[in-house]
Amino acid sequence: MNLKIAVLAGDGIGPEISVQGVNVMSAVCEKFGHRVSYEYALCGADAIDKVGDPFPDETYNVCQAADAVLFSSVGHPKYDNDPTAKVRPEQGLLAMRKRLGLFANIRPVQTFKCLVHKSPLRAELVENADFVCIRELTGGMYFGEKYQDNEKAYDTNFYTRPEIARILKVAFDYAMKRRRHLTVVDKANVLASSRLWRQVAQEMESLYPDVTTDYMYVDNAAMRMIQEPAFFDVMVTENTFGDILTDEGSVISGSMGLLPSASTGTGTPVFEPIHGSWPQATGLNIANPVAQILSVAMLFEHFDLKAEGTLIRQAVDASLEANVRTPEIQVEDGERYGTKEVGEWIVRFVRET
């Protein structure tokens, strides 16, 4: 297979983990006889600094022409700490999602046996946790009408029936492939937009009679994820709720550096780690590349290259079992590995297996 990949390294630790993801992808393609080419493009604060736009047209064109995008992270403190900034790195991420039509964010939440003790939750709560969060990505408050002055501000949580139906279809289809349990998360007791979500979901239930569908207010879902994460199979929700809940879910594994995600829709799909740019760690060789590497696994699986994805997952599991880990999950008094060393170990595993 020929693969054309757009690589958007972005800001902070992005360039460091991006290199490791590309190296693993190249090793897998070499092993399985695929041809892969990469085209690099600017985004985020790096793009603002260089061309004044966090997602310039040139980058959009590169993404549109690619089979997939391997994205890393955006964000920088000089924008985070300036509430008056008119252009922000995160606007590039939102623009990429909107312009590429990426309305579905898929975030698997899983635990690793050898790291259960690293979770902030008790081991007996998380050892069987394995669920997927599906977040609507191009609607809601992030894209609705906005206003701000010195006295008032508002964000409009706007959704249409077609937007809701298409993301619910993604969620029902995922549930059919898994344990056939879907939880629709909303705030229908307060929000009109949530009531429309619930109405559409209830109408669609009959199309998926083999799926057990339940409904949960977002505050209850947040508590249930901590109290009983193994309850969930597939969870679907709107943009803002999804942003919060998926970050909450990410720490169940013990490190935000472990979990990948995919954003899919009508255009070129994007595969990325769930974490941010962690600018304080830039250049220190301590960022965990596993989430970026597992994003590569999701990329292969998206194109139905299951053996390739499985090999990457086996390599990651083997590295964790061998205690080849970055500092935040390192075994006490064990040998220390950095971003580069973990990536190189996984590449060797791929080539030698």
Query: Is 53 tagged catalytic?
Result: no
Instruction: Please tell me the least confidently modeled range out of 8-12, 77-81, 276-280.
Output: 77-81
Query: How many CA atoms within 13 Å lie on the side-chain side of 327?
Result: 6
CATH 3.90.1490.10 fits 1-102+266-353, yes or no: no
Query: Is 219 tagged catalytic?
Result: yes
pLDDT digits (tens, 9 = 90+) for 208-261: 999 999 999 999 999 999 999 999 999 999 999 999 999 898 889 888 899 999
Spot the catalytic one: 67, 80, 243, 317. Answer: 243
Q: Whole-model pTM?
A: 0.92
What angle (nearest 5°) sits at the alpha carbon of residue 228, between those of residues 115 and 263? 70
Fold matches, 1-102+266-353 and 120-253? yes
CA distance linking residue 233 with residue 274, whole number of Å: 19
Spot the catalytic one: 142, 174, 208, 337. Answer: 142
Spot the catalytic one: 49, 67, 130, 247. Answer: 247
Query: Is 187 tagged catalytic?
Result: yes
Answer yes or no: is pLDDT of 181 > 80. yes
3-state secondary structure of 346: helix
Spot the catalytic one: 187, 208, 233, 337. Answer: 187
At 263, the pLDDT band (50, 70, 90 cuts) reads very high
Query: How many CA atoms within 13 Å lie on the side-chain side of 353?
Result: 19
Looking at residue 90, its pLDDT comes to 92
pLDDT digits (tens, 9 = 90+) for 104-145: 999 999 889 888 888 989 988 998 899 999 999 999 999 999
The answer to whether residues 2 and 34 touch, using CB atoms and an 8 Å cutoff, is yes
Spatial CA neighbour of 292 closest among 262, 264, 266: 262
Spot the catalytic one: 82, 154, 219, 306. Answer: 219
CATH homologous superfamily for the domain 120-253 = Isopropylmalate Dehydrogenase (3.40.718.10)
CA distance linking residue 194 with residue 176, whole number of Å: 24
Domain borders along the chain are 1-102+266-353, 120-253
Query: Is 46 tagged catalytic?
Result: no
Answer yes or no: is pLDDT of 83 > 80. no
CA distance linking residue 326 with residue 289, whole number of Å: 8
Query: Is 247 tagged catalytic?
Result: yes
Dihedral in degrees, nearest 10, Cα atoms 105, 109, 114, 118:
100
Answer yes or no: is pLDDT of 79 > 90. no
